[in-house]
DNA sequence: GCTTGGTGTTCTGTACTGCGGGACAATCTT
DNA sequence: AAGATTGTCCCGCAGTACAGAACACCAAGC
């Protein structure tokens, strides 16, 4: 009678193991550059022959391709086109675009849309500053969330137990010497972010680059997202920050309201 | 004895049907916005219950997600992150980037990298013009190949039998009234492209936008790619075309030579 | 040179798993 | 209100996708 496992809304009542394993291989392909057959077999707990067959299958459908020198499989063209098609269709991105363009035009700096992916943020889209000297948009990039402005804003919105899961190991990854290196420091920074409503990034991801980021609230279902504004260090005076953050917050709210 | 089917180099000797069907569903997700269970079952020739289970599986791994109003499945966040990770890693893109930046800087117009996907071209990456009035880079977009400059350049490099497969139906899709509408016209245009070495796009994809495109030669294995230069109509005088095309050809060759 | 540990690849039998069919409920159409 | 489609669940059978072993291949290492 009463089903206890209701708290996992999408547990497949009738799993198809081979498909599950194949999808897990695809997910491995996201984090690793290439995968070997033995590697996959070990990691998924399946026989080498099975891993071989699954990878051949992925190769046949162009989801994977063999690296030259026939050593290991890497992600194939089907993933590229599927992914790009999915990105273009993403609700957040489509809805956010016009607002981002308005914001980029108003403050004349590069605006980027990001979403959380594990403990990282993925750059989903960006509108570059109209000025000749500007920060380039780097769609597709992955950065540690705690090293970016929008990433910090997103983290600040997370429930604390989820946050702890994301940072199990103590020495946090750093990109520059200004990056946040310890969990304690991160927690106090996030507290400040919650108070201020926005986050900053003062050369913590790239030297000479500063950013201001806010989270997009109420993204029902889809992973948490945010927008960040990036500028050359020399151009952003401290007294502008509040003003720019307000513009970003207005934009984020406008995006959130577009969800009917 | 003699295996006849040697001309299909990657036919999986030992197919895993469920995985194959699952991957085919993913491929459907690329072309359609959403798919229903009955739809998938019909198209793949499997029972509705099977389609249901496969889609649940995809949903569980976040490769698909249900559309609000619980009607139909659409592509999920896993596809987005997988795709973007794959794009960033793509050889062509990584290798082409520096050359594209140089070209964009030299001619001060927006440069785009595209690759063929069926009879369309997918925008893989772009470097925007430094000028204030410029054509925006639209990474991820899909356009009919015969309506874009680089697309035509890529088509011109294709063997004719492959070309015929791509255009079975006579009234070609058009985006503006200047788009090429018939196969005959396309063939003569492609002949000109082969002679000139580059292709043009005079308001055939977007009104007020002109482009110059070239194919990147010798892309062993990976799908055919090309680069295009897009500019506002008002800014591109006819006498500049040859010069810009030469710069683009130099760039394309430089990219091709990067492949060791 | 010949081992030794590691790969990727192919084959075959069997237990299990994922398939189809059917029944039900919830929608949308007419 | 009836009819047509849809998504969802369940169950029993048979087909399949798994593991295991055997083989070929390439590195190092002694």
pLDDT per position as a tens digit, B31-64: 888 899 999 999 898 888 889 989 988 998 989 9
Distance CA B115, CA A77 (A): 10
Question: What pLDDT sits at residue B5?
Answer: 33
Q: Is the CB of B46 under 7 A from strand C?
A: yes
Contact B155, B115 (CB under 8 A): no
Q: Which residue has the higher pLDDT, A48 or B16?
A: A48
Are A210 and A200 a contacting pair, CB within 8 Å?
yes
- Report DSSP letters for B71-122, one per residue: -SEEE-HHHHHHHHHHHHH-HHHHHHHHHHHHHHHHH-SEEEEEEEETTEEE
CATH number of A5-82: 1.10.10.10
Q: What is the structure's pLDDT at A260?
A: 47
CATH of A90-258 given 3.10.20.30, 2.40.50.700, 3.30.450.40, 2.120.10.30: 3.30.450.40
- What residues contact B93, with CB distance under 8 A and at least 6 apart? B87, B113, B124, B125
Output the pLDDT for position A15: 74
Q: Given a cut of 90, is residue A191 above it in pLDDT?
A: yes
**Residues 105-144 in B contacting A (C-alpha not used; CB under 8 Å):** 115, 117, 122, 124, 128, 130, 132, 139-142
Q: What is the pLDDT of residue B69?
A: 66
Is residue B112 a contact partner of residue B101, using CB atoms and an 8 Å limit? no
Q: How many CB atoms lie within 10 A of CB A129?
A: 23
Contact of B229 with B242, CB cutoff 8 Å = no
Tokens 């063939």 found at = B187
Tell me the CA distances in angstroms from B70 to B49, B63, B73, one per residue in order.
17, 16, 8
CA of A158 to C1' of C18 (A): 39
| DSSP per-residue letters across A20-37 | HHHHHHHHHHHHSS-B-H
Of A251, A220, A260, the residue nearest A97 (C-alpha): A251
What is the arithmetic mean of pLDDT over A17-30?
90
pLDDT digit string, tens, across residues A67-102? 876 578 989 889 999 998 888 888 788 889 999 999
Rounded CA separation B49/B253 (Å): 52
The per-residue pLDDT for B3 is 33
Whether B81 contacts chain A with CB within 8 A: yes
Instruction: Kindly state the tokens that stand for A54.
Output: 């699954």
Residue of A140, A143, A218, A222 to mutate, interface with B, max B Cβ within 10 Å: A140
| pLDDT tens-digit readout, A141-170 | 999 999 999 999 999 998 888 888 899 887
Q: Which residues get their CB within 7 angstroms of nucleic chain D?
A: A 13-14, 17-18, 21, 45-50, 53-54; B 15-18, 36-39, 48-49, 52, 70-72
Q: What stretch(es) of chain A map to CATH 1.10.10.10?
A: 5-82
The boundaries of every CATH 3.30.450.40 domain in chain A are 90-258
Task: Tell if the CB–CB gap between B142 and A85 is shorter than 8 Å.
Answer: yes
- B160: enclosing H helix or E strand: helix B160-166
CB-CB neighbors (< 8 A) of B85 in chain A:
29-31, 75, 83, 140, 142
A102: its two tokens: 């308005």
| Residue numbers of chain B with a pLDDT score lower than 70 | 1-14, 69-70, 219-223, 259-260
Q: What is the pLDDT of residue B7?
A: 32
Chain B residues 173-232 within an 8 A CB cutoff of chain A: 221-223
Sheet-wide strand order for B199-202: B142-144, B120-127, B110-117, B225-232, B209-215, B199-202
Spatial contact of A106 and A247, defined as CB atoms under 8 Å apart = yes
pLDDT at A10 over 60: no
Subunit contact B80:A86, Cβ cutoff 8 A: yes
């Amino acid at each position: 009678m009463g089903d206890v496992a209701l708290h996992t809304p999408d547990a497949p009542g009738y799993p198809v193991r081979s498909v599950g394993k194949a999808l897990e291989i695809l997910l491995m392909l996201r984090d690793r550059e290439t995968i070997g057959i033995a590697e996959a077999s070990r990691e998924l707990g399946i026989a080498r022959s099975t891993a071989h067959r699954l990878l051949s299958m992925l190769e046949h459908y162009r989801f994977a391709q063999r690296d030259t020198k026939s050593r290991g499989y890497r992600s194939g063209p089907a993933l590229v086109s599927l992914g790009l098609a999915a990105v273009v269709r993403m609700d957040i991105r489509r809805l956010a675009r016009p607002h981002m363009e308005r914001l980029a035009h108003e403050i004349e700096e590069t605006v980027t849309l990001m979403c959380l992916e594990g403990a990282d943020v993925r750059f989903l889209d960006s509108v570059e500053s109209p000025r000749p000297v500007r920060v380039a948009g780097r769609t597709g990039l992955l950065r540690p969330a705690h090293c970016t402005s929008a990433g910090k804003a997103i983290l600040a919105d997370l429930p604390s137990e989820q946050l702890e899961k994301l940072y199990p190991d103590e020495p946090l990854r750093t990109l520059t010497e200004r990056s946040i290196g310890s969990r304690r420091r991160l927690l106090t920074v996030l507290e400040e972010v919650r108070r201020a409503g926005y986050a900053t990034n003062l050369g913590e991801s790239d030297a000479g680059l500063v950013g201001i980021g806010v989270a997009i609230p109420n993204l029902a279902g889809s992973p948490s997202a945010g927008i960040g504004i990036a500028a050359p260090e020399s151009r952003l005076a401290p007294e502008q920050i509040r003003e720019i953050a307000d513009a970003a917050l207005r934009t984020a709210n406008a995006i959130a309201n577009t969800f009917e």
